[in-house]
Amino acid sequence: MLSLRKKILVAIDGSPLSDKAAEEAVRLAAGNTSQFKSKVYAMLVLPNAPRTTFTDFVPPKPVTETEQWGELRDKIFYVVEKNAEEAGIPLEVKIAYGDPADELINFAAGEEVDVIVIGSTGKGFLKRKVLGSVSDKVVRNAKCSVYVIRG
């Protein structure tokens, strides 16, 4: 399986499928039997903050600056944090704003990630063509391996 230290990026969004991807990412990291531990990056990508206009007197706060963020953050990252802690795997949580596929691809390239673990909902052909698919875009454009978890 993995013989050297690997950097594993897992896409997190709080859904059951992303929890499944998180479990798989930690399992991959834990399967490394060498003396060098693999590291898992858990990344949540939020949409760009709404743009303010000249009619807005008080621009809205990003979700990460609201009172509910602490509780929401704990729910979103619960599975990956719990599994990484139990397996003794180093974990780094990242939060980015923008297009999820672009942010995942750019982060993976910048950190020289070895594998991206991402969930796929299995949308039908028409939905995928109309709405696009984050996992499809990541698979087509990432410079590293991509491990797709099916729902």
* pLDDT > 90? residue 91: yes
Residue 4's CB is within 10 A of a number of other CB atoms, namely: 10
Q: Could you give the angle at the alpha carbon of 28 between the alpha carbons of 12 and 33, nearest 5°?
A: 145
Could you report the per-residue pLDDT of 133-143, keeping only the tens digit for each?
888 899 999 99
Q: What is the per-residue pLDDT for 56?
A: 61
* pLDDT > 60? residue 50: no
**Chain-centre distance of CA 72, in angstroms?**
16
Q: What is the per-residue pLDDT for 63?
A: 72
Provide the percentage of residues in the chain whose pLDDT is more than 90: 56
pTM of the predicted model over 0.85: no
CATH topology of domain 7-150: Rossmann fold (3.40.50)
Stretch 44-73: mean pLDDT: 72
* pLDDT > 50? residue 6: yes
Could you report the per-residue pLDDT of 93-140, keeping only the tens digit for each?
999 999 999 999 999 999 999 999 999 875 555 444 544 588 889 999
Average pLDDT for the chain: 84
| Domain boundary assignment for the chain | 7-150
Q: What is the per-residue pLDDT for 143?
A: 95
Distance CA 119, CA 13 (A): 10
